[in-house]
Chain A
Amino acid sequence: MLLRQNRIKDPLGDRVFMAFNYLFLTLILLVVLYPLLYIVSSSFSSSRAVIAGQVWLLPVEFNLKAYASIFRSTQLMMGYYNTIIYTVFGTIINVALTIMIAYPISKKTFYGRGFLIILLMITMFFDGGLIPTYLLVKDLELLDTRWAMWLPGAMAVFQVIVARTFFQTSIPEELGEAAQMDGCRDLRYLVSVVLPLSAPIIAVMTLMYAVGHWNAYFDALIYLRSESLFPLQYVLRNLLILNAADPQMLANTSQQLRDQGFEQVLKYALIVVASIPVLIMYPFVQKHFVKGVMIGSLKG
């Protein structure tokens, strides 16, 4: 009798629970999604509609004026160009250095492995801090050069550890022994056997480094002075947060110069343009990112 009662009661409780669960998740979904939708919609709306507060969900008085003026701005296009350069070469340097140290320290036969691991770990807990690093970059005469964007953060210890863990756990040691029997040297083995087998982890690493470069503004803030070197995020900061409007963007819109509405729409459009590359890439790489976080968490 008691058992039967329980059996009938529990699914009801479960159903109520699941209803709340769905409600909770739907709420979270809306909370995350709404601001994103709102920004995109505002960027396609007329400045009149934005300033009058008519945009709630979908674009009002659809137009592309803001986007048209964004692409007229040399400052912004320059930022785009610089960011692409920083991202492409920076990521290549990052991935190369990471593999160059992660692979040797994944081999048991490598002398000094323990020493190198300690050398790496120490940097996770101590660092010189902002000023000593800045002074170093200054002494090396890297200030206001592209190298300042590449070298100080050329390798992330966390990524080294993730890659090492992957090499250790996913590449069978017998493979290396067999290759050695056949007279295959280490470098060749690394390039033609290990790296192809490590494609998933290299993809994750590349993406994480690349997103880091794409989104970085702090290094530019401290190391760069010339406008021709500024990355996109730094230009965006000037335009969006410091409100230093680019006259080229407001050209041909002289009557709108004092129109706060157009500046607002422009800002929404800037946000969309700046985030598009990452957001386009995102659905394709989502799974990889998840995998990367999981490998990283298995053994820190």
Chain B
Amino acid sequence: MSQTTEPIQAQANFRNEMNRVAKKKESPLVKSFKRHWELYLLVVPPVLYLLIFKYIPMAGVQIAFKNYSVIQGIWGSEWVGLKHFVTFFQSPNFWLLIKNTIGISVYSLLAGFPVPILLALALNELRNGYFKKTVQMVTYAPHFISTVVMVSIIILMLSPHVGVVDRLFAFFGLPMTNFMGIPEYFKSIYVWSGVWQGMGYSSIIYIAALASVDPSLYEAARMDGASRLRKIWHIDIPALVPITIIMLILSLGSIMGVGFEKIYLMQNPLNTSASEVISTYVYKVGLIGANFSFSSAVGLFNSIINLILLVIVNSISRRVSENSLW
């Protein structure tokens, strides 16, 4: 008798075991959740952050199509369709803002894009010595200067009579100038101070790309008697193409997104005709003028153009060179 119950018992045990395994296999989600519940808990605060501080404002963009009233709030305000967009397109400021925004961006891109690449190529020719380290250390440093301090430096250096630039002008017999007050100079001052501040730091990425070039390529080039210039032309520049294209896509994609902080600080009543861009306009009309809906419409228009540009440039690049962001 006992001989027959034992296999049954074993069978039952086995079945139970099977059931347990099967239950686990049934829902890997539950299994993963049971084993890794700590990770799921961990992710809650960052996700809440994203939802509250990123996604709620995204939904809040609807005020661009509404007449925002403080009492009714974002959701309760009445819809007005594209009214604010039409007002913006018809306003006399529209073309000036577009012209300034694009003008400053394109100028920044043309001046600021090649310099870090040149710097990286030049540094790459040096042996890892004291001079190379000094140049790198010094050129990276301005990146860490805050915008406020940077703009103060610009203003101090360019101030009439006491600024060092004006004194240099005087030294060469040129007339004294109030640089910050002349609209024609604004773009150049903005762009070249940006190049001064950013060229070292932006070159890091290209230096890294050059450092990963296979040394045997240089060996082979030297065996063939290639000059340094030829090595740069045939080895270094091709090595930089992919990362350059990625960087180019990114900067073209944000061509309408001229940074607010520096321009706003550099503005003064004399140069606004050249320095007013979309982001400063959004700030002034929206927060200072409390015209929330209109200003959101302007901001939204700006981001949409940026997104469209990014998608276009990316798809062109993917077709032409197989380099793309996605």
Interface residues of A (CB under 8 A from B): 3, 6-7, 10, 13-14, 17-18, 21-22, 24-25, 28-29, 31-33, 35-36, 38-39, 50-51, 53, 56, 97-98, 100-101, 103-105, 107, 109-111, 116, 119-120, 123, 125-136, 139, 151-152, 154-155, 160, 185-187, 190, 211, 214-218, 222, 233, 236-237, 240-241, 260-261, 264, 267-268, 270-271, 274-275, 278-279, 282-283, 286, 289-290, 293-294, 297, 300
Q: Is the CB of A128 within 8 A of B58?
A: yes
Instruction: Decide: A132 near B61, CB < 8 A? Known: A25-B123, A97-B46, A264-B156.
Output: yes
Total interface residues on B, using CB and 8 Å?
A: 87
Which residues on the B side are within 8 Å of A98 (C-beta)? Answer: 46
Q: Is the CB of A135 within 8 A of B74?
A: yes
Cross-chain contact of A127 among B54, B142, B153 (Cβ < 8 A): B54
- Residue of A with least CB distance to B60: A132
With both chains docked as a complex, state the minimum distance between the C-beta of B253 and any C-beta of chain A, in angstroms: 9
Q: Is the CB of B36 within 8 A of A136?
A: no
Instruction: Decide: A236 near B196, CB < 8 A? Known: A128-B60, A185-B38.
Output: no
Cross-chain contact of B149 among A28, A105, A127, A275 (Cβ < 8 A): A275
- Residue of B with least CB distance to A272: B149
Which among B1-9, B12-20, B94-102, B293-301 touches the partner chain?
B293-301
Q: Is B144 an interface residue (CB 8 A)?
A: yes
- Residue of A with least CB distance to B62: A132
Instruction: Decide: A131 near B204, CB < 8 A? Known: A237-B265, A260-B162, A300-B246.
Output: no
Which residues on the B side are within 8 Å of A279 (C-beta)? Answer: 141, 144
Q: Told that A21-B126, A267-B156 touch, could you supply 16 new A-B pairs with CB distance under 8 A? A: A14-B228, A21-B122, A35-B157, A36-B142, A101-B46, A111-B32, A123-B55, A125-B307, A129-B296, A132-B74, A152-B53, A241-B152, A278-B145, A279-B141, A293-B204, A297-B243
Instruction: Decide: A119 near B50, CB < 8 A? Known: A32-B139, A107-B39.
Output: yes
Of B38, B39, B40, chain A has the most CB atoms within 10 Å of the CB of: B39
Which residues on the A side are within 8 Å of B155 (C-beta)? Answer: 240-241
Cross-chain contact of A53 among B32, B167, B205 (Cβ < 8 A): B167
Q: Is B21 an interface residue (CB 8 A)?
A: no
Q: With A and B bound together, what is the CA distance between A51 and B164 in angstroms? A: 11
Which residues on the B side are within 8 Å of A152 (C-beta)? Answer: 53
Which residues on the B side are within 8 Å of A56 (C-beta)? Answer: 164
Q: With A and B bound together, what is the CA distance between A300 and B242 in angstroms? A: 13
Q: Is the CB of A100 within 8 A of B43?
A: yes
Q: Is the CB of B162 within 8 A of A50?
A: yes
Instruction: Decide: A18 near B228, CB < 8 A? Known: A97-B45, A268-B156.
Output: yes
Which residues on the B side are within 8 Å of A190 (C-beta)? Answer: 42
With both chains docked as a complex, state the minimum distance between the C-beta of A272 and any C-beta of chain B, in angstroms: 9
Q: With A and B bound together, what is the CA distance between A105 and B265 in angstroms? A: 39
- Interface class of chain A by DSSP: helix
Instruction: Decide: A283 near B137, CB < 8 A? Known: A126-B58, A132-B296.
Output: yes
Q: Is the CB of A297 within 8 A of B292?
A: no
Q: Is B286 an interface residue (CB 8 A)?
A: yes
Which residues on the B side are within 8 Å of A222 (C-beta)? Answer: 283, 287
Q: Is the CB of B29 within 8 A of A32?
A: no
Cross-chain contact of A104 among B43, B153, B246, B286 (Cβ < 8 A): B43
Cross-chain contact of A133 among B43, B57, B199 (Cβ < 8 A): B57
Which residues on the A side are within 8 Å of B36 (C-beta)? Answer: 107, 109-110, 186
With both chains docked as a complex, state the minimum distance between the C-beta of A77 and any C-beta of chain B, in angstroms: 17
With both chains docked as a complex, state the minimum distance between the C-beta of B311 and any C-beta of chain A, in angstroms: 9
Q: Is the CB of B47 within 8 A of A116?
A: yes
Q: With A and B bound together, what is the CA distance between A129 and B152 in angstroms? A: 27
Which residues on the B side are within 8 Å of A216 (C-beta)? Answer: 146
Which residues on the B side are within 8 Å of A155 (C-beta)? Answer: 46, 49-50
With both chains docked as a complex, state the minimum distance between the C-beta of B213 and any C-beta of chain A, in angstroms: 15
Which residues on the A side are within 8 Å of B228 (C-beta)? Answer: 13-14, 17-18
Q: Is the CB of A100 within 8 A of B45?
A: yes
Q: With A and B bound together, what is the CA distance between A233 and B55 in angstroms? A: 29
Total contacts A to B, CB within 8 angstroms? 259
Instruction: Decide: A29 near B303, CB < 8 A? Known: A103-B39, A111-B33.
Output: no
Which residues on the A side are within 8 Å of B310 (C-beta)? Answer: 125
Between A and B, 20 residue pairs with Cβ closer than 8 Å are A10-B226, A13-B227, A14-B227, A14-B228, A32-B196, A100-B42, A104-B40, A105-B43, A116-B47, A123-B55, A129-B299, A129-B303, A132-B63, A155-B50, A186-B38, A217-B148, A236-B152, A240-B155, A290-B204, A300-B246
Q: With A and B bound together, what is the CA distance between A218 and B286 in angstroms? A: 15
Q: Is the CB of A271 within 8 A of B149?
A: yes
Q: Is the CB of A217 within 8 A of B261?
A: yes
Q: Is the CB of B39 within 8 A of A104?
A: yes
Which residues on the A side are within 8 Å of B122 (C-beta)? Answer: 21, 24-25
Q: Is the CB of A131 within 8 A of B296?
A: yes
- Residue of B with least CB distance to A235: B148
What are the interface flags for B221-238 relative to A under an 8 Å C-beta threshold, 1 for contact and 0 otherwise?
000011111000000000
Q: Is B256 an interface residue (CB 8 A)?
A: no
Which residues on the B side are within 8 Å of A123 (C-beta)? Answer: 50, 54-55
Q: With A and B bound together, what is the CA distance between A57 and B213 in angstroms? A: 41
Q: Is the CB of A267 within 8 A of B225?
A: no
Q: Is B138 an interface residue (CB 8 A)?
A: yes
Q: Is the CB of A297 within 8 A of B283?
A: no
Q: With A and B bound together, what is the CA distance between A297 and B201 in angstroms? A: 13
